Amino acid sequence: METQQVVSYLDRHEADAIGRLMEWLRIPSVSTDPAYSADVRRAAEWGAQQLKAAGFDVEIMPTGTADEPGHPVILASTPGDPAYAGPHVLFYGHYDVQPAEPLELWDNPPYEPVIRPAEGEIGERIVARGACDDKGQVATFFEAMRAWKEISGKAAGGVKMTVLIEGEEESGSANLEKFVDEQKDRLGACDVCVISDTGMLGRGKPAITYGVRGLAYTEITLHGPNQDLHSGLWGGRAPNPVNELVKVLAQLWDQDRKITIPGFYDDVQPVTDEERRAWQRLGIDSVAALRSIGLGPDADVGEAGFNATEREWARPSCDINGIYGGYTGEGAKTVIASHATA
Amino acid sequence: METQQVVSYLDRHEADAIGRLMEWLRIPSVSTDPAYSADVRRAAEWGAQQLKAAGFDVEIMPTGTADEPGHPVILASTPGDPAYAGPHVLFYGHYDVQPAEPLELWDNPPYEPVIRPAEGEIGERIVARGACDDKGQVATFFEAMRAWKEISGKAAGGVKMTVLIEGEEESGSANLEKFVDEQKDRLGACDVCVISDTGMLGRGKPAITYGVRGLAYTEITLHGPNQDLHSGLWGGRAPNPVNELVKVLAQLWDQDRKITIPGFYDDVQPVTDEERRAWQRLGIDSVAALRSIGLGPDADVGEAGFNATEREWARPSCDINGIYGGYTGEGAKTVIASHATA
């Protein structure tokens, strides 16, 4: 089987692969700090080189505008085998890293990667800025592509693929949306997207993340009187926006902690029995997770009918991320606020 | 009738009475600013003099401590006629005033009282700092006491009275509670308390305020996780204190906007039919009141079964004076806060 040949190839060349990753980790591609712009560019070129070596057509494309240029995107593709009938795969990753400060908390300089024993666990770890977010993951993809090319003689083993590796993930992907929009023709043709910028369940427990939660965020402000009022004079007489806002917000959930917004669950994929069983077998300790944030087992509450793992992985949630209204300083002030926001 | 003689006396001596009030208004008894301490003292002495002239036993008593002296209290009393069988009346007022700044908003210097036509209304007004809070009101009491003494020959016309006029009302009555506590024997013997530091319904519409709302203020903080969490990772899994707080707070009122706290209404005096009718006759325009705070007639909502006047004057209310939790800055932050406060 070709796959076994590829795995075998990777095993044989592991030291080379680690050496290549080390090279990449030595480039301080900090996207948020303009002082590192040249390094960011260098990291993009390094990545582009790997994809070229694996047989891809590769471009390093600018983002942003002439006035406000962004960091470049590595955009690569391979048309796939003429006989290939599977999905057109989009691979996404990023080659930029977070700033390494405060430096005094590092045992080794962050851009001088070292291999260390994994404390309290088997095996070793590479310690460097970006090793696990996201250069390490992207490097495994590069190595897989290299191995498939070597074994099959075809880029991506004949799979039709597009690769997008950006350089601004750690600074908010400010230019990505516009870029994706401009490249709609190329990117929109993809059927699935593979991202390895997620997590593992633990050492020796690799994970396939096949869904992440999206986000719809809104801010509402409820206006009442045109000025703050004294609640001794107006309490019970003028509408209090804070009172009314909490009444409205409290209706977001029913007794079963189901979200009551009409249509909220319409497009939610149900959790299948197979998934439930598979997740159950992972033996995730939800009580330990709660303990890690200072809570006891009785804090394991949420949408009725789902356990903590199911709620986190497969169920949408509705959270108030912030609320404010009225007097929020020290001491007491008997005010009816003119507005309240959540 | 003696009362008519008293009224007639007051009418005949109106100019003298106004002249005396003007004298008092000229003393800048600003309690919050130590620069005016001597003036505050002088204002107390002036008031004590009026009560002496009306036949009271008067003391000017210190408040506070040796280290942190407060402004003095005028404490006066008269034992009443031997035959007097009515209530022991406590009169309360204050002789201090708010700072007059910003001075540029005054048409006349604040401590140089002038008599002006009442704009758009009949009659005249005295314009000076303290004229309507609270020296003007207390002066009418002084004049009434003076007149009763003149007509009946007895202090307070024979009524058993205690008078407490403090000098710290405008700076929070910091020393009053302790003072009242120390004078419990004298003050606790009073049956009713007369305060004229409230309001009028309008010019030519004097009002007797026979009840004011007290205050119970509490701050609650609901704690959840021991750190702020990312709502993408923890939403629906970890309890969100803001979500939970609004759910709890929303239960403070039922569908009829009655307050649901057990026992909340236990000691509330019902509004009598007589009161309802009397208040109805006042012709208070609650729609105009709402308009003054920028709201339309449909904002006239409150506890079912009571109109706006009844709610303001006779019904307790429960208001959230402030609420905050989570991210309250600009833009979006997907945080599950570790606590929320109202």
Where would I find the beta strands (DSSP E) of B238-338?
322-326, 335-336
Mean pLDDT of B110-139: 91
Nearest to A29 by CA among A123, A98, A115: A98
Residues A267-288, buried b or exposed e (16+ Cβ, 10 A)? eeeebeeebeeebeeeebeeee
Instruction: For tokens 């609901």, name the residue.
Output: B222
The pLDDT of residue B172: 86
Per CB-CB distance under 8 Å, the chain A contacts of B249 are 243, 246, 250
Q: Which domains does chain A have, with CATH numbers?
A: 2-195 (3.40.630.10), 221-341 (3.30.70.360)
Give the model confidence (pLDDT) of A240-290 as tens digits.
Answer: 999 999 999 999 999 999 999 999 999 999 999 999 999 999 989 999 999
Find the mean pLDDT for residues B190-219.
87
Greater confidence, A82 or B212?
Answer: A82
* 3-class secondary structure, B251: coil
End-to-end Cα distance, chain A: 57
- Give the type of residue at A144: A
pLDDT tens digit sequence for A1-17: 789 999 999 999 999 99
Average pLDDT, chain A: 94
pLDDT 10s digits, B229-258: 988 889 999 999 999 999 999 999 999 999
Indicate the angle between helix axes A135-152 and A37-53, nearest 10 degrees: 20
Which of B236, B290, B315 is closest, CB to CB, to A315?
B236
Report the complex ipTM: 0.75
Which residue, A58, A57, A59, A31, is CA-closest to A43? Answer: A31
Per-residue confidence (pLDDT) for residue B301, from 0 to 100: 93
- Residue A78 in contact with residue A121, Cβ under 8 Å? no
Confidence check: pLDDT of A221 > 90: yes
Residue for token digits 């030291």?
A15
**What pairing do the DSSP bridges indicate for beta strands B73-78 and B57-61?**
antiparallel
pLDDT tens per residue, range B150-188: 999 999 999 999 999 999 999 889 999 999 999 999 999
- Give residue B255's identity as a one-letter amino acid code: Q
Looking at chain A, the whole-number percentage of residues with pLDDT higher than 90 is: 83
Q: Shortest CA distance to A284 belongs to which of A268, A303, A270, A300?
A: A300
Q: What whole-number distance in Å separates Cα of residue B56 and Cα of residue B144?
A: 13
CA distance A28 to A99: 9
Q: Which of B291, B295, B326, B318 is nearest to A325 (CA)?
A: B326
Which H or E run contains A221?
A: strand A221-223
What's the rounded Cα separation, in Å, for the pair B31 and B47? 15
CA-closest candidate to residue A243, choices B320, B53, B77: B320
**pLDDT at res. A242:** 96
Q: Please, what sign has the CA dihedral across residues A155, A159, A162, A166? A: negative
Phi, psi of B22, rounded to the nearest 5 degrees:
-55, -40
**Contact between chains at A316 and B232 (C-beta distance less than 8 A):** no
Whole-number pLDDT of residue B211: 84
CA distance B152 to chain A (A): 40
Instruction: Report the gap between the CA of B235 and the closest CA in chain A (Å).
Output: 6
Residues of chain B neighbouring A299 (CB-CB closer than 8 A): 224, 238-239
Q: Distance (Å, rounded) from C-alpha B49 to C-alpha B1?
A: 28
Give the residue, B108 or B198, on which the prediction is more confident: B108
Give the whole-angstrom CA distance, residue A289 versus residue A88: 37
Minimal CA separation from B296 to chain A, in Å: 10
Among A251, A253, A323, the residue with its CB nearest the CB of B323 is A323
Q: Which residues in chain A touch residue B212, judged by CB atoms under 8 angstroms apart?
A: 232
**DSSP letters of B118-186?**
-TTSSSEEEESTTTTTTHHHHHHHHHHHHHHHHHHSSGGGG--EEEEEES-GGGT-TTHHHHHHHTHHH
Cβ pair A236:B316 closer than 8 A = yes
A-chain CB neighbours of B232 within 8 Å are: 212-213, 215
Of B56, B73, B31, B47, nearest to B178 by C-alpha is B73
Closest-CA distance of chain B to residue A81, Å: 39
B-chain residues near A332 (CB < 8 A): 217, 219, 321
Which value, to the nearest 10 degrees, does the dihedral of the CA atoms of residues A53, A56, A59, A63 take? -110
A248 to chain B: closest CA residue: B250
For B75-85, the pLDDT digits (tens) are 999 999 999 99
Quickly tell me which residue has 């582009």 as its tokens: A48
Q: How many CA atoms lie within 13 A of B295 on its CB side?
A: 25
Task: Locate A285 and state its tokens.
Answer: 């300790």
With an 8 Å Cβ cutoff, are B312 and A340 in contact?
Answer: no
Q: How many residues does chain B have?
A: 342
Residues facing B46 on adjacent strands: none
Evaluate if residue A331 carries a pLDDT over 80. no
**Smallest CA–CA separation between A302 and chain B, in Å?**
6
Of the listed ranges A106-120, A133-147, A218-232, B193-207, the one predicted with least confidence: B193-207
Q: Is the pLDDT of residue A332 over 80?
A: no
Distance CA B175, CA A253 (A): 48
What would the two tokens of residue B307 be? Answer: 């109109």
Amino acid identity of residue A220, one-letter, is: I
Is the confidence at residue A69, as pLDDT, over 90?
Answer: yes
Tell me the two tokens of residue A287: 């009580």
Arithmetic mean of pLDDT over chain B? 94
Q: Is the pLDDT of residue B293 over 90?
A: yes
- Among B243, B335, B328, B258, which Cα is nearest to A249's? B243
Catalytic residue annotation of A: 96, 169
Q: Tell me the residue ranges of DSSP E strands in A5-88.
A: 57-61, 73-78
Q: Is B197 exposed, middle or buried (0-12, 13-18, 19+ CB in 10 A)?
A: middle
Residue A204 has pLDDT above 80, yes or no: no
pLDDT of residue B112: 96
Confidence band (pLDDT; 50, 70, 90) for A200? Answer: confident
Residues from chain B contacting residue A247 (CB–CB below 8 Å): 250, 253
The answer to whether A336 contacts B316, with C-beta atoms less than 8 Å apart, is no
| A297: its two tokens | 């087992």
Q: Cα(A59)–Cα(A38) distance, rounded to whole angstroms?
A: 17
pLDDT interval class at A163 (50, 70, 90):
very high
Q: Which residues pair with B126 in a beta bridge?
A: B115
| DSSP three-state, residue A298 | helix
CA distances from A282 to A269, A275, B328 (A): 21, 11, 38
B39, B134, B143, B169: the catalytic one is: B169
How far apart CA A139 and CA A113 sit, in angstroms, is: 14
Report the amino acid identity of residue B301: V
| Beta-bridge partners for B145 | none
Query: If pLDDT is split at 50, 70 and 90, which confidence band does A30 have?
Result: very high
Give backbone dihedrals phi and psi of B341, rounded to 5 degrees, phi first.
-130, 140
**pLDDT at residue B93 in the model:** 97
The answer to whether B159 and B86 have CB atoms below 8 angstroms apart is yes
pLDDT at B136 over 90: yes
> Binning pLDDT at 50, 70 and 90, where does residue B202 land?
confident
Task: Give pLDDT, residue A205.
Answer: 82
Q: Give the max Cα distance, chain A.
A: 83
Q: Which of A130-139, B270-279, B324-333 has the lowest mean pLDDT?
A: B324-333
A&B contacts, CB < 8 Å: 203
Cβ <8 Å between B315 and A242: no
- pLDDT above 70 covers what percent of chain A? 100
Q: What's residue B203's pLDDT?
A: 77
Helices A14-25 & A37-53, crossing angle to 10 degrees?
A: 160
pLDDT at B101 over 90: no
Please answer whether residues A239 and A224 qualify as being in contact, where contact means their C-beta atoms are separated by less than 8 angstroms.
Answer: yes
Please answer yes or no on whether A320 and B242 come within 8 Å at the CB atom.
yes
Cα distance between residue A246 and residue B321, in whole Å: 12
User: Do A249 and B253 make contact, defined as CB atoms within 8 angstroms?
Assistant: no
Bridge partners (DSSP) of residue A59 are A75
Distance between first and last Cα of chain B: 57
* Inter-CA distances, B115 with B21, B24, B120, B232, B333, Å: 12, 15, 15, 67, 58
Are A325 and B328 in contact (CB < 8 Å)?
Answer: no
Whether residue A62 is predicted with pLDDT greater than 80 in this model: the reply is: yes
CA distance B100 to B340: 39
